[in-house]
Amino acid sequence: MTDVQERVFTDTEVAERLAQTLPRWKHENGWIRRKYKTNSWKGTLMVINTVGHLAEAAWHHPDITASYAWVEVRLMTHTAKGITEKDFQLARKIEEVVQWQPAQEGGALEGTPRDDLRFAYIKYD
């Protein structure tokens, strides 16, 4: 959609940025990646759909690998052939939404029950 050249971060810059803002994300083989553990296939699908919605809204598309109880998200700006600001911003938004725990914020939203695995879907860090 845009012809703007995107600045590709060096490996050192990526490592520093992840350490500062996304400590659970890793930089490997040209991607930044994060594995989310879930409690079941239902949770896995919820994470995939959340990531899909955020990526589509941002018009920046990750690679996703999934199994019964985990989802791995990998980001790289394909057109730039490297890690750009787009990757960091989408990773931050994914992290914010997937790791959201309303029960810890107080207020009317209580969050899913942790003591009843029928309703648990993600294993929070």
Can you spell out the DSSP letters for 65-83? EEETTEEEEEE-BTTTTB-
- Residue 37 host element (H or E): strand 31-37
Average pLDDT for 26-41: 96
How sure is the predictor about 2, in pLDDT bands with cuts at 50, 70 and 90? low
The whole-chain average pLDDT of the chain stands at: 93
Please give the CATH superfamily to which domain 30-101 belongs: Transcriptional coactivator/pterin dehydratase (3.30.1360.20)
Q: Which DSSP symbol is given to 104? A: G
Nearest to 73 by CA among 108, 103, 49: 49
| Residue boundaries of the structural domains of the chain | 30-101
**What local confidence, expressed as pLDDT, does residue 103 receive?**
87
**What local confidence, expressed as pLDDT, does residue 120 receive?**
83
Give residue-wise pLDDT tens across range 53-85.
999 999 999 999 999 999 999 999 999 999 999
Res. 52: pLDDT tops 90: yes
